[in-house]
Structure 1
Amino acid sequence: MKGHTLSTRLLISTALITIFSVAAILLGNNTPLFVFIIVLIGLIAAMDIIHSLSPLKELECDLKRISEGEIPDKRITAKRSKEIISLIREYNRMALALSDREAKWRERSTSYHKLQGEIVRLRFVALHSEKILNSVTLGIIVITKSEIVSLTNNAFHKLWGINTTLAGLPVSQIPFISEQNDWINGIRDVLSSGSERTLPTIKAGERKLNILLAPLYEQMKPGNPGEIAASRTRFAPRNDAIDGVITLCEDVSEKILMEERLLQSERLAAVGKLAAQVAHEIRNPLNSIGLNAEYLIDRILNKKGLSENELQSLLEAIREQVNHLESVTEQYLQMTRPPETQIKATSLDELFREIDVIIRPQFSFKGVILNLKAKGSLPQLFIDPGQIRQAILNLLTNALDVSKEGDCVNLEARIMNGHVEISVQDQGPGVLTENIEKIFLPFYTTKRDGIGLGLALTKQIIEAHKGEIKYNPSMKEGSRFTIQLPVNQQ
């Protein structure tokens, strides 16, 4: 009966039992053999039916598990009844579909929970980012590459006195930006070059602002399409596209005011120090002049008379002190109000000859050797010859003051990297390390009778010529001062 439907097998079994029963009745023979055969056929038919129906029990158990929410992973097999085979096949198909749906549901459920978590995280980040952004004292405005405002913070609105939102507006419609050519040009420059830019100080009402423009980069990361990352220029990968510009506005009004007050205090302190120095420098010569004058008056009034030598000596002393006063006054005037430079083409060779004529007698008198060296062909310089001559003479005078008899002082000039380098080197004691930073300061001096303005004036003259002066301690002994002047400066 294998392969027949259940109804066919029941029909065949019933027919066999009926045939044997009828045969037994017709033959009138109730022998045990017929009874045994009939019973055996019935048992076989019953067992066949029971065996055919056994998958239904298994099906019942699986359906019960499905109703409880469990999807069986084992499939039911049936080999006899076509109806049952068909039923089991449909069941297996249904169980497989349910299993697939459950797997997809679980996957979607996991994704949903992840999405919910990400939404919560993003809301948290957005909330706290906004709080952080609005707690920053710097004014911040973010502008897209289309020159549209995408974001501002509270500090920006406060700095510019704005009560309305700017997000979504083109910068061309924001007057205080569009009217600032430096700002507009700066935004476009950053978008094109990707480099940071600092603008000159801008006024916002009574406030003074420093403006920094920096690029924002659109960073496309693998696995995170569309994710935007903001970065400063030096941290941004080269391949990232510029997505916009972030502008930082810093209120420097108080800072500038404090700097101006500090500068004013320094000026007042300098004036006070200058007044004290002037009083000190003038007092001694005036005392000397006063004493000599009193002596003359006393001699004249008492008719004691004066010899020609005495009179000459007194008058020379008075003249010397007057000259000293004139020198002090001139130096202070130069320090407080340096004369305007009168630039003209000047030959260094000629300038060195003039310096030699002026200073060599003093060197000879003290027994100090002066060497003038010009290395190579020196070009003409566009300088104020009088001022540069005075600066070099100041250095040579200082070198002479620290030199002893038999020492050498070298004045050299040479071309170095587009500059003329003029150096004065002596064999004196040099400058103490802790005093090197002070030597160019006004009123600083280690000389007993010095004013402390010589090197300060020299530095002022050189810087007025767009040059530079440096002190270089000698490797062996003495000091070396170096002046650098640009060759093509006109």
Structure 2
Amino acid sequence: MGTMIALISAELAVASVLYILSLESQSMFSTVQWVMTSLGYTIGAIIAGSLSMLWIEQMHHHRGLEQHLSEVHHRYIAETEKLNQILNAVPLSIATVDKEGTVQFVNDTMEQTARDQLPCTTTPDLIGHPASQFVEQAQADKMETGIQKAIVHGEVSGLTVRYGSHVFQSRTVPLYSFSKEYPREVTGAMLIIQDITELEMLRSELDNVDRLSLVGQMAASITHEVRNPMAVVRGFLQLMQEKSPQSLDHYYRIVLEELDRANSIINDFLSLAQNRIAEKEESQLHDIIHELSPLLWADANLRGQSIEFKLAHNVPKLHLNSKEIKQVVLNLARNGMEAMNEKGILTLETRVVDDTVELCVRDTGPGIPPGKHEKLFEPFFTTKAKGTGLGLSMCLSIVERHNGRITVESEENQGTTFKVTFQR
């Protein structure tokens, strides 16, 4: 309105100037002409003012749209950043792919997972490449098939894959666009990968515990029924040996040794069947080792081997059952001696690590092949010609009853170390 008033005022001023000039020049510019001229200028001013107002309104409208678009853009950026932070904070490896199966986005966890397998990997190395790069070549086809099912048929699929020493659970989910023109059109897929290596290890340990429990139940149910007849048989064999010629003594000796061996197996069964510790008291681990040292030295001398003791000075007392811990130390030490040749060195070491006490039994034998590490503590698994396969199972059972852990570290031609960890 201000623009229109200004234009009309300017028109009237111009018309008045022209009229005055016409009077001075004695022109024939009549009053009617002046009115018509003024009216024409007024109409032009109104039209120009209207157009100016329309232009100003359009500019104001576009400026409002621009401001609204800027606000929407900032909100979009903020929500996108928030979504990225959420995806990066999730403890799952997440990646998105387009219809061709090419990676478009990876979160920080996925990048870290890839870097753990290939140390120099970065995000640009992952984006723009097929999703099959996340698995080993032997399982790439299975992942590609799962992605195609998600993109083409909209199916959700799962796959357990291995990459090196790790086990991953992969889940492929289709991604949709919800536009009005193409409702629920599949635009790609999302890969969700979870590292379940520790879960698989726990499952394996749980299976091992179940097997030990089954062995214990068997031991508890048959031990008396087996040991009593064996005692009778052994007694009658000794009587028969006394009345038999000496030429048959070696046969009786073999039979009696095998009966003693069977009785030893039954005793190991009984040890596995004990789910509770009869007595626990504050004990010094070093005292237990010192009590066993004469016996260990005697075995080592017979084999031409030597023993080293590396006992820490700050080891505190632990809540232990001395008899059972003696059995663990003795079994581990004898296993180490049997694994070594002459001049081998057996090392017993104790140390305090954070809030735990570690007992390490180390030998200089040939080591254990990698494929046998996981089976060492399984019942009846043995690498010895005359072993029962129950010694390490019994050690595991005793250590677990003390809320501890027992692990093995071994390399071929580098020796073996059994590590028993107790909570302080």
Q: TM-score, normalised by structure 2?
A: 0.51
1:412 corresponds to which residue?
349
User: Does the alignment pair 1:361 with 2:298?
Assistant: yes
Is the 8 Å Cα contact of residues 423 and 482 (structure 1) preserved in structure 2?
yes
Change (3 A) 1:389 1:270: closer
User: Does the alignment pair 1:62 with 2:15?
Assistant: no
Change (3 A) 1:231 1:401: same
AA aligned to 1:416 is V
Structure 1 segment 250-265 matched on structure 2, within 5 A: none
User: Does the alignment pair 1:335 with 2:288?
Assistant: no
Change (3 A) 1:309 1:383: farther
Is the 8 Å Cα contact of residues 470 and 483 (structure 1) preserved in structure 2?
yes
1:473 corresponds to which residue?
410
Is the 8 Å Cα contact of residues 277 and 401 (structure 2) preserved in structure 1?
no
Deviation at 1:397, TM superposition (A): 1.4
AA aligned to 1:104 is E
Change (3 A) 1:389 1:55: farther
1:389 corresponds to which residue?
326
Structure 2 Cα separation of the partners of residues 387 and 321 of structure 1: 26
2:29 corresponds to which residue?
47
1:453 corresponds to which residue?
390
Change (3 A) 1:335 1:273: closer
AA aligned to 2:41 is L
Larger radius of gyration: 1
AA aligned to 1:307 is P
Is the 8 Å Cα contact of residues 369 and 411 (structure 2) preserved in structure 1?
no
% identity of equivalent residues:
18
Structure 2 Cα separation of the partners of residues 55 and 49 of structure 1: 10
Change (3 A) 1:232 1:450: farther
- Aligned length in residues: 287
Structure 2 Cα separation of the partners of residues 457 and 57 of structure 1: 117
2:335 corresponds to which residue?
398
Deviation at 1:294, TM superposition (A): 9.1
Structure 2 Cα separation of the partners of residues 468 and 418 of structure 1: 14
Deviation at 1:326, TM superposition (A): 2.0
Is the 8 Å Cα contact of residues 399 and 405 (structure 2) preserved in structure 1?
yes
Structure 2 Cα separation of the partners of residues 344 and 269 of structure 1: 26
Q: Secondary structure at the match of 1:46?
A: coil
**Aligned match of 1:103 in 56, 62, 65?**
56
Q: Kindly provide the CA deviation profile for residues 103-125 of structure 1, in whole angstroms up to 9, marking residues without a partner as x.
A: 3377459859999x9xxxxxxxx
> Structure 1: any 5+ residue segments left out of the alignment?
14-40, 73-94, 118-219, 238-258
Deviation at 1:395, TM superposition (A): 0.7
Structure 1 segment 122-271 matched on structure 2, within 5 A: 235=86, 267=210, 271=214
Q: Secondary structure at the match of 1:379?
A: coil
Change (3 A) 1:314 1:349: same
Structure 1 Cα separation of the partners of residues 37 and 406 of structure 2: 108
Change (3 A) 1:110 1:48: same
Structure 1 segment 249-328 matched on structure 2, within 5 A: 267=210, 271=214, 306-308=244-246, 310-311=248-249, 313-328=250-265
> Structure 2: any 5+ residue segments left out of the alignment?
1-12, 89-201
**Aligned match of 2:360 in 408, 415, 423?**
423
Q: Kindly provide the CA deviation profile for residues 379-414 of structure 1, in whole angstroms up to 9, marking residues without a partner as x.
A: 322211111111111111111111112222111223
Deviation at 1:482, TM superposition (A): 1.8
2:419 corresponds to which residue?
482
Is the 8 Å Cα contact of residues 341 and 387 (structure 1) preserved in structure 2?
no
Is the 8 Å Cα contact of residues 474 and 480 (structure 1) preserved in structure 2?
no
Structure 2 Cα separation of the partners of residues 221 and 475 of structure 1: 65
Change (3 A) 1:335 1:295: closer
Q: Kindly provide the CA deviation profile for residues 112-164 of structure 1, in whole angstroms up to 9, marking residues without a partner as x.
A: 9999x9xxxxxxxxxxxxxxxxxxxxxxxxxxxxxxxxxxxxxxxxxxxxxxx
User: Does the alignment pair 1:439 with 2:421?
Assistant: no
Structure 1 Cα separation of the partners of residues 207 and 316 of structure 2: 42
Change (3 A) 1:347 1:54: same
Q: TM-score, normalised by structure 1?
A: 0.45
Structure 1 Cα separation of the partners of residues 386 and 330 of structure 2: 18
2:4 corresponds to which residue?
none
AA aligned to 2:244 is L
Change (3 A) 1:478 1:291: same
Deviation at 1:419, TM superposition (A): 2.9
Is the 8 Å Cα contact of residues 366 and 413 (structure 2) preserved in structure 1?
no
User: Does the alignment pair 1:351 with 2:288?
Assistant: yes
Deviation at 1:356, TM superposition (A): 1.8
Deviation at 1:274, TM superposition (A): 9.8
1:379 corresponds to which residue?
316
1:247 corresponds to which residue?
none
Change (3 A) 1:296 1:338: same
Change (3 A) 1:307 1:474: same
Give the alignment's Cα RMSD to 1 decimal. 5.5
Structure 2 Cα separation of the partners of residues 264 and 408 of structure 1: 35
AA aligned to 1:380 is K
Deviation at 1:484, TM superposition (A): 2.2
Q: Kindly provide the CA deviation profile for residues 164-193 of structure 1, in whole angstroms up to 9, marking residues without a partner as x.
A: xxxxxxxxxxxxxxxxxxxxxxxxxxxxxx
